[in-house]
Chains A and B, each alone.
Chain A
Amino acid sequence: MIKHLLSVTQLRPEDITAVLDTADSFREVGTRVIKKVPALRGRTVVNLFYENSTRTRISFELAAKRLSADVINFSTSGSSVAKGESLKDTALTLEAMGADAIVIRHSSSGSPNTLTRWVEASVINAGDGTHEHPTQALLDLYTIREHFPSFEGLRVAIVGDVLHSRVARSNTHALARMGAEVTLVGPPTLIPPEAPAWGAQISYELDAVLPKLDVCYMLRVQRERQRQQYFPTVREYSRLFGLGRDRVDALPEGALIMHPGPMNRGVEIASDVADLPRSLITDQVTNGIAVRMALLYLMLGGSGAGSEGEAG
């Protein structure tokens, strides 16, 4: 297994499968009374969260603790990250503390890459700017796998602000790698024209795509994008690209609705849709812990003499 997880593009299909298979075992651990195994006892996992994200941070924290690792949380909302202390200085401090793995979420694309230059620990990207969110993609694949036997030929649409979405990038890379057919849907201003080179098709018409989907993945669209003129009004965006009841009915039987959270109810997804059983949004949260446990186990359970994997 690779030493650092910076981008999904470092994982071969067999690596992705290994993570998902291992996650099955960790899901079982989550059903026990004692939801803990000693596999990573004595290791130290640091959560370095420069962006506020209670959900992802708790997921990683639980994952590490259930593996019996020690967890340190550095977050800007807490007191730990000193105002004005450079990433480099923080990294050197963590290194001195003997961190085995650093899980970093940061608003600058590429900051996990930069971090690897300063630490010996394994670096896990928990979301960097608009670049990637690899563990989100893995847990999304895990959730999809529970409902579909194979990714080969699976028809997936990713709808919304693809341009600014690290989740869209990671998911597109991961799904394409596993043989799925990905279509990116949204207004032209929010879909990078180079996206076909990532392995996806483009459509500006959601209604044309819906009837032939297995998975409909809705991205969060910030209202701020209207101010930046990516679309004229939220009202128009919702009308053209929002998922409401009528669009849900247009989906084939058995199609899944997913969203990485947090949701902008009323913008990209209607409230009542978010609560439908077909929506797997809460499942995605549960599976997140199992997938992150699998990743930590595979990355730290070896002596580190493994390969770096594919270049990013």
Chain B
Amino acid sequence: MAKLLFRGARVVDPASGTDQVADVLVVDESVEALGDDVSARGAEVLDCDGLALAPGLVDLHAHLREPGREDAETVETGSRAGAVGGYTAICAMPNTDPVADTAAVVLEVRNLADKAGLVDVHPAASITKGLQGERLTEIGELAELGVRLFTDDHQCVQSAQVMRMALDYSKAFDVVIAQHAQEATLTEGWQMHEGYYSSLLGLRGAPAEAEAVIVARDLLLAGRTGGRLHITHVSAGLSVDLIRDGKARGLRTSADVTPHHLTLCDEDVQGYDTNLRVNPPLRAAEDRQALRAGLLDGAMDAVATDHAPHAEEDKEVEFDQARPGTIGLETALAAVLTALGPEPDLGTVVQRMSSTPARILGLDEHGGPLAPGRPANLVLFDPLAEWTVGERPTASRGRNSAFLGHTLRGAVVYTLLRGVFTVRDGEATG
């Protein structure tokens, strides 16, 4: 029997409505006790004064690149990066090579994750075969295998008819259809957000409307079909408003925002740093403000990293040749705490980064509530510790962080997956 006593941590567990200092006893895979003065007999005691303890973070959107681009990341290295960032569950994106549009690829990813044993990886499957946007994948069979989320990311399902069919058909399986909203003809050759800075820098812009147009369309289709629509990596204030309105009218829709869109904006692209070339692009300061407000008022349900590692030769090139994407698993929590700072409400942060994404994916074992008998998938972090990105090597194989050189506030100290440390004193254990 392995016993761990976390003494005096601030337990933040929105699923049970808890936010108070308490002791938490973990025995083997589960939480055994939670309260004041829990007995330490036979347990390793960890003093958690100043630390927050929460259900492990859950990422709705991360690219683990395996199979196909193992030079950029593998399921194992991506899992480790997740653990370092405080994650205990990750939804892996299907734009691998081959695409995860069949049971075979989904199962392979799951096997690789189980072997690494650092994080629970829930592979997403694509909406359409080969991400071509034409024919639906066998959503039923994949749902039976446990796939909870379907997406064509980084492609947008362009055809309204195909999207309608996906939302309608998927209803039967209660799975999420996640859209990467980007109208193709408005964004041909895009390099950054269309605005003052794109015209100053001579880079072709993608207007915010290219995202909003698809969001508006798909909200209407979700309304018609009753399917579970999720808009991933919302970047524009226009989209936030549309989604907020849709929810107010009773639509069963959810949305996520990335930590980099909460932190950076198009002005930061001056200097042509390719780590800031991301899709969707970093938009204007007003959009960033709208995303923060949306995250706080719940129009944006969750934070998802869109962790996108790239090999060096895909980034150390001219700006318009660089593949878009930034890594994000290891910096997500700190970036969100810093962006919502200086004194962010931890309950809201844990809700958006753990309980709600767990609920969207239907993961009972993650996201809390923390109570006796529940699985010990936990993260402990110091909400005030400051650190500078880039000073330590990344656990991810990718080095392309949009936050390089930034000083962030918030450091993960322990991560536990079913009672086993995957991160101890800020370092990965395996």
Is B387 part of the binding interface, using a Cβ–Cβ cutoff of 8 Å?
Answer: no
Rounded to whole angstroms, the CA-CA distance of A180 and B313 in the bound complex is: 44
Is A192 part of the binding interface, using a Cβ–Cβ cutoff of 8 Å?
Answer: yes
**Smallest Cβ-Cβ distance to B269: which chain A residue:** A110
Interface string of A64-89 (1 = CB under 8 A from B): 00000000000000000000001110
Interface residues of B in 174-214 (CB under 8 A from A): 191, 195-196, 199-204
Given known A-B contacts A113-B271, A194-B195, A87 and B203 have beta carbons under 8 A apart: no
Least CB distance from A31 to B in Å reads 37
Least CB distance from B287 to A in Å reads 16
Rounded to whole angstroms, the CA-CA distance of A175 and B318 in the bound complex is: 29
Chain B residues close to A by CB (< 8 Å): 191, 195-196, 199-204, 270-272, 274, 313, 316-321
Least CB distance from B281 to A in Å reads 14
Interface string of A162-189 (1 = CB under 8 A from B): 0100100100000000000000000000
From A128-136, A241-249, A256-264, the one touching the partner chain is A128-136
Contact B317–A87 (Cβ < 8 Å) = yes
**Smallest Cβ-Cβ distance to A110: which chain B residue:** B272
Least CB distance from B68 to A in Å reads 22
Contact A312–B318 (Cβ < 8 Å) = no
Given known A-B contacts A312-B270, A312-B271, A114 and B318 have beta carbons under 8 A apart: yes
Known: A129-B203, A198-B200. 11 other contacts (CB 8 A): A88-B316, A106-B318, A109-B320, A110-B318, A111-B319, A113-B272, A114-B274, A131-B202, A194-B196, A197-B196, A312-B270
The residue from A88, A169, A197 contacting B202, defined by CB atoms under 8 A apart? A169
- Residue pairs across A and B with CB atoms within 8 Å: the count is 63
Q: List 14 A-B contacts (CB under 8 A).
A: A86-B313, A86-B317, A88-B317, A106-B318, A108-B318, A109-B191, A109-B202, A109-B320, A110-B272, A111-B318, A114-B272, A114-B274, A312-B270, A312-B271
**Smallest Cβ-Cβ distance to B320: which chain A residue:** A108
Interface string of A21-48 (1 = CB under 8 A from B): 0000000000000000000000000000
Is A285 part of the binding interface, using a Cβ–Cβ cutoff of 8 Å?
Answer: no
Is A195 part of the binding interface, using a Cβ–Cβ cutoff of 8 Å?
Answer: yes
Chain A residues close to B by CB (< 8 Å): 86-88, 106, 108-111, 113-114, 128-132, 163, 166, 169, 192, 194-195, 197-198, 311-312
**Smallest Cβ-Cβ distance to A166: which chain B residue:** B202
Least CB distance from B317 to A in Å reads 6
**Smallest Cβ-Cβ distance to A162: which chain B residue:** B199
Contact B320–A129 (Cβ < 8 Å) = yes
Contact A195–B199 (Cβ < 8 Å) = yes
Rounded to whole angstroms, the CA-CA distance of A192 and B202 in the bound complex is: 11
Rounded to whole angstroms, the CA-CA distance of A128 and B321 in the bound complex is: 14
Rounded to whole angstroms, the CA-CA distance of A116 and B195 in the bound complex is: 26
Contact A109–B203 (Cβ < 8 Å) = yes
Chain A residues near B203 (CB, 8 Å)? 109-110, 129-131
Contact B202–A130 (Cβ < 8 Å) = yes
Contact A86–B316 (Cβ < 8 Å) = yes
Rounded to whole angstroms, the CA-CA distance of A88 and B316 in the bound complex is: 7
Interface centre among B199, B201, B274, B318 (most CB of A within 10 A): B318
The residue from B201, B271, B274, B317 contacting A131, defined by CB atoms under 8 A apart? B201
Contact B199–A192 (Cβ < 8 Å) = yes
Interface centre among A128, A129, A163 (most CB of B within 10 A): A129
Rounded to whole angstroms, the CA-CA distance of A129 and B203 in the bound complex is: 8
Rounded to whole angstroms, the CA-CA distance of A113 and B272 in the bound complex is: 7
**Smallest Cβ-Cβ distance to A312: which chain B residue:** B270
Chain B residues near A88 (CB, 8 Å)? 316-317
Interface centre among A86, A109, A132 (most CB of B within 10 A): A109
Least CB distance from A276 to B in Å reads 31
Chain B residues near A87 (CB, 8 Å)? 317-318
Rounded to whole angstroms, the CA-CA distance of A130 and B191 in the bound complex is: 12
Chain B residues near A198 (CB, 8 Å)? 200
Chain A residues near B321 (CB, 8 Å)? 108
Rounded to whole angstroms, the CA-CA distance of A195 and B319 in the bound complex is: 23
Rounded to whole angstroms, the CA-CA distance of A114 and B191 in the bound complex is: 15
Chain A residues near B316 (CB, 8 Å)? 86, 88
Chain A residues near B271 (CB, 8 Å)? 113, 312
Chain B residues near A130 (CB, 8 Å)? 202-204
